[in-house]
Amino acid sequence: MGVDGISIDPSSLAPALRELRAGRAVVLIDERTDSADLVATADAIEAATVNLMIREARGILAVALTYERCEALHLRRMTGIAETQRA
């Protein structure tokens, strides 16, 4: 069983994982919500890809950071603790 009770066939992710491992960005489509995400790995991202994400995809640029890195960058939470526990 996958996330949120949805079954995901791992073989369907293989092409995307190959692209990510090769340093290329991929588009992940969520048919349930009719939305998509442009995804790239942090070690392969380039300024041009970030520019594309911000200017052309016109969405939110999300970055996964550890608590320690957020502290070092003096980043504050966008939501309260109670809200994040519900997510």
Per residue in 52-68, pLDDT tens? 888 888 878 888 889 99
| DSSP label of 75 | P
Number of structural domains in the chain? 1
What is the predicted pLDDT for the residue at 82? 59
Over the chain, what is the mean pLDDT?
Answer: 82
What is the predicted pLDDT for the residue at 19? 94
Domain region containing 81: 3-86
Residue bearing the bigger pLDDT, 10 or 1: 10
Residue 1 pLDDT > 60:
no
Rg (CA), the chain: 16
State how far the Cα of 72 lies from the Cα of 68, in Å rounded to an integer.
Answer: 6
State how far the Cα of 87 lies from the Cα of 35, in Å rounded to an integer.
Answer: 19
Please, are residues 73 and 52 in contact by the beta-carbon 8 Å criterion?
A: no
pLDDT tier, 32 (very low <50, low <70, confident <90, very high otherwise)? confident
